[in-house]
Chain A
Amino acid sequence: MSLLDASLVDWSRAQFAMTAMYHWLFVPLTLGLGLIVCIMESLYVKTGNEEWKKATQFWMTLFGVNFAIGVATGIILEFEFGTNWSNYSWFVGDIFGAPLAIEAILAFFMEATFISVMFFGWKKVSKKFHLASTWLTVIGATISALWILVANAWMQYPVGMEFNPDTVRNEMIDFWSILLSPVALNKFFHTVISGWVVGSLFVVGISSWYLLKKRETGFALKSIKVAAIVGLVSTILVAYTGDGSAYHVSQQQPMKLAAMESLYSGQKPTALVPFGILNPAKKSYKDSVDPFLFKIEVPSLLSLLANREMNTFVPGIKDILDGGYITQKGTVALSFDEKHARGKAALKSLEDYQKAVVAKDTAAAKIHKAALKENYAQFGYGYIDRAEMMIPSIPTVYYSFHIMVMLGFYFILLFIVFLWKQKSIEKQKWLLWIGVLSIPLGYVAGQLGWVVAEVGRQPWAIQDVLPLQAAISHISTYSVKITFFLFLILFTALLVAEIRIMLKQIKKGPVAE
């Protein structure tokens, strides 16, 4: 068998990351705008006020333009698990495939069925039937997010499964522990609600533009009121679930937390660095160069956030690779070398088990199976030769995380000010401009969140079990390069078209609807 080209992993990652990032440009707006549309239509049905209907229809038009392209990028993501991550698809398909299938059966058809009523049914069905269809479309979109996020959370924190050496894959043994894993639930709420923030910023920003242009004043004020309330509540919830996410990261993926904080050597207690500039001279986790050029510290806060206790130890990158510290569970952390040795042993046991099965040597097979089970928790380390491979890109993860958090606090402030200045908002030109200019920041925060989650867990496809190089498909690098650029060109062209259509619709305004 030919060896795999090392750049194949990078190109496969690049293609998947690019598709996911494009997808995540459209999905949050679908979720956020969808909720706001539902609220506005509910107000219309309750009050009978035609102004609410006009607002609903305007935002629904933008929802429709955005929805189609989200669907287009979504189908590619689903199939790329097979086309580019073929080993992965078999190795964990027994667990990962199930949420995807459930998503398709329970959520996609709900969206596909009721979106047609939502767009074309205004004159064909009753008001209440239409309202129910709008809600069901948005609920369908949200449920579809649930299942894919459950699958993603499982990759970060694999639970409810057992490795079967006969089929050479992980098999599900507890569906509910996968669905109700605390990482999955937290990830779902954090991600979906962050979409509500994007939708709120979008509505506030565009409504602000109308006020600046002294157009559609009544519509814009109504829209700002709804969106600023949704935005404020959502941002506070995102901050709360974000704290939960970081806690789970600290417990399950300590390397990711260390990268998020650029923490090389842990202390007891450990300070939080809410703001800092990284030192580019820091080249290795082994050198003694200070990782920061400048930093502001809050004593003990990282210990509190990561372990829910002030005077506790938070491991840094060096601690994680060298091992030997006492974990929160009270066990002694293994070093990378020890994990690597166990991973190698697990791989060897699997190989020996397979040989024993072929030779029909049941006694030997039993011994090798037991040895494999003993070391399986470190199975993926068997593929990783150097400790340095365990460290994700620190600047990427660190800055992404810190900018995302700063943006989160900025959004809270922004929505508070919009609500506070509501009565005189038409005169607050500076605030209206800030509203307009803040629209892209919601997208930036969402993208950075995914960068933290996904780059931060490198080199793993499945945490501790399957590294990327063991997850990819056996195809030529040039094939992936070609499809990468084809997707890039196509997605970019469609994005440009979408933005222009949106701008035209916004210029046209709700009156012309």
Chain B
Amino acid sequence: MITYSFLQHYWWFLISLLGGILAFLLFIQGGQSLLYSLSKTEDEKRLLVNALGRKWEFTFTTLVTFGGAFFASFPLFYSTSFGGAYWVWMAILFCFIIQAVSYEFQSKPGNVFGAGTYRAFLFINGLLATFLIGVAIATFFTGSDFIVAKGNITNQLAPVISSWGNEWHGLDALFTVRNLTLGIAVFFLSRSLALLFFVNRLNNEVLEARSRKFLWYNAIPFVVFFLIFVIWTLFSEGFAVNQATGVVTMEKYKYFTNLIEMPVVLVLFLLGVVAVLGGVIGTWITPKFKSGIWFAGVGTVVTVCSLLLLVGYNNTSYYPSTNLQSSLTIFNSSSSFFTLKAMSLVSLFIPVVLVYIFIAWRSMEKKRINIQDVNEDEHAY
């Protein structure tokens, strides 16, 4: 039987899955952040841009879908976080605006600012967007300073439901070290995934060898910062919710307890981490192994998805506030039963979407890309 609680859990699962897919697709941003260091010649740079440029829209679309799905399924998060942590979200958005035009415009004559500017835009997007998204997601574990008071709607002079508790409007997340560790981890993860993608997709021995070498410098910091964040989080206090009263309290080792109490999530988390490490280590030790991106990609999706399940399920606040009783849970912030049900029917189309993405992707990726392909393509960037 489909209950309201089931739908709330189902939609949190979809949000978590989208979050995982988004984290994987951030390899585009990671690749952009490597534009200047990985390539030494113009041809190499062009090859990297064109390899990434045929996929950038997937990351962009997933981000839009992530936002849209959050708006539809948990609108109180949308209104509280976006309206409150204004500057963090605006900074992320700026990073994505400058990315959207940069692929198309950079090689076109008359582009006013020159190819260098658009490549710099791609670099900025790669550098900042990954870090800031990581920091923003870390606040799901560490909390933010906001107040939710739905009753305020009747205050005719200040009918404000959600308010941020300080004037930093989201930039305050940068003052929490644990948030920074996830930001840095996501940044290095995106670069590591990009390098695995290049190993898999490029038909260029020099770039492939360099990508394998660069993997060391990026995967190790990723693992270090990721472990710091995970261990710190698992053994910190978490935001627990009393199911009967809805009262939020701080609970020791809450996220660790969640892992233990949700063995499926624990297994998924461990499998995800192993797959990421397997993809990376396999690429290091086996020169002919080129499929690391698929292992690490699927591993990223599963790991991030399970981390988000950890923070949303098992009576936990997924968007906690330092004003504890304002914290958001999948129960107090979701859309109505009717809306979740209607959207769940629409979500049944997701497999169809995945099938046509697979078909189109496969038809376009029959062989690996080299500089000759780029030079012969009339629409190349």
Contact = CB atoms under 8 A, between A and B. Distances in A.
Given A89-B82, A474-B162, A68 B364 contact: no
Nearest to B65: A104
A479 interface: yes
A322 interface: no
B378 A513 contact: yes
Interface in A106-125: 106, 108-117, 119-125
Given A112-B57, A112-B58, A115-B57, A475 B83 contact: yes
A103 B69 CA distance: 10
B150 A89 contact: no
A104 B363 contact: no
B79 A168 contact: no
A93 B76 CA distance: 8
B110 interface: yes
A94 B341 CA distance: 12
Contacts of A114: 360
A176 B37 CA distance: 53
Contacts of A101: 65, 68-69, 71-73, 343, 346
Given A75-B96, A109-B357, A98 B72 contact: yes
Interface stretch (A260-268, A281-289, A433-441, A490-498): A490-498
Contacts of B110: 497, 500-501, 503-505
Nearest to A347: B154
Nearest to B352: A106
Given A72-B101, A98-B339, A105-B346, A350 B69 contact: no
Nearest to A473: B83
Q: Which of A65, A69, A110, A167 has the most CB of B within 10 A?
A: A167
Given A3-B157, A120-B364, A500-B111, A89 B68 contact: no
Interface residues of A, number: 99
A86 B339 contact: no
B83 A474 contact: yes
Contact of A75 (B82, B86, B97, B342): B97
A102 B343 contact: yes
Given A94-B75, A105-B349, A475 B86 contact: yes
A483 interface: yes
Nearest to A384: B156
A20 to B, nearest CB: 15
Given A82-B71, A168-B150, A76 B87 contact: no
A365 to B, nearest CB: 14
B100 A69 contact: yes
Nearest to B99: A72
B353 A105 contact: yes
A96 B61 CA distance: 19
B152 A1 contact: yes
Interface in B330-381: 335-336, 338-339, 342-343, 346-347, 349-350, 353, 356-357, 360-361, 363-364, 366, 377-379
A470 B350 CA distance: 36
A286 B379 CA distance: 62
A171 interface: yes
Contact of A171 (B54, B167, B336): B336
Nearest to B335: A94
Interface of B: 54-55, 57-58, 60-61, 63-65, 67-69, 71-73, 75-76, 78-84, 86-87, 89-90, 93-94, 96-98, 100-101, 103-105, 108-113, 150-164, 167, 169, 335-336, 338-339, 342-343, 346-347, 349-350, 353, 356-357, 360-361, 363-364, 366, 377-379
12 contacts: A74-B64, A75-B67, A86-B162, A93-B71, A93-B75, A98-B339, A101-B68, A105-B65, A350-B154, A383-B159, A475-B86, A483-B90
Given A68-B101, A79-B93, A83-B90, 14 more contacts: A3-B158, A83-B83, A86-B79, A96-B71, A97-B68, A97-B73, A101-B71, A106-B349, A106-B353, A109-B357, A113-B58, A113-B357, A114-B360, A168-B153
